[in-house]
Amino acid sequence: MLSLKSTQEVARDLAFRVRERRLQRGWTQDEMAQRAGMKTPTYVLFERTGRIALARLLKIFQVLDWLDAFDQLGRGQDLTGVSLDDLTSPERKRGRRKSS
């Protein structure tokens, strides 16, 4: 799939959504960092730039109750190149035909 955003843009957008959720909950950056088990400057840098280690991001997602959604990424069926006929046709069963 073609993406019109760079990886840096996606990271900054994600950090913005995390910030919005933090603010909705009424937490300061320091509170969020403490809840996620990290130092405040590390968390502040993430909100500003989107840069963070994966393990730390997962801790943030856990605090925000987003971990299950993240865990589902990539688990869906890849439908690239599948036609509507492929999706709607009955499943074929393998085996021998009965002789009359």
**What structural domains and CATH numbers belong to the chain?**
7-68 (1.10.260.40)
Among 76, 59, 55, 65, CA closest to 21: 65
Asked if residues 74 and 32 have their Cβ atoms less than 8 Å apart, the reply is no
Asked if residues 24 and 42 have their Cβ atoms less than 8 Å apart, the reply is no
pLDDT by 10-residue block (mean), the chain, 100 residues: 84 97 98 98 98 97 95 79 69 63
| Cα–Cα dist 68/87, whole Å | 27
| Cα–Cα dist 64/36, whole Å | 9
What is the structure's pLDDT at 94? 67
Three-class DSSP category at 60: helix
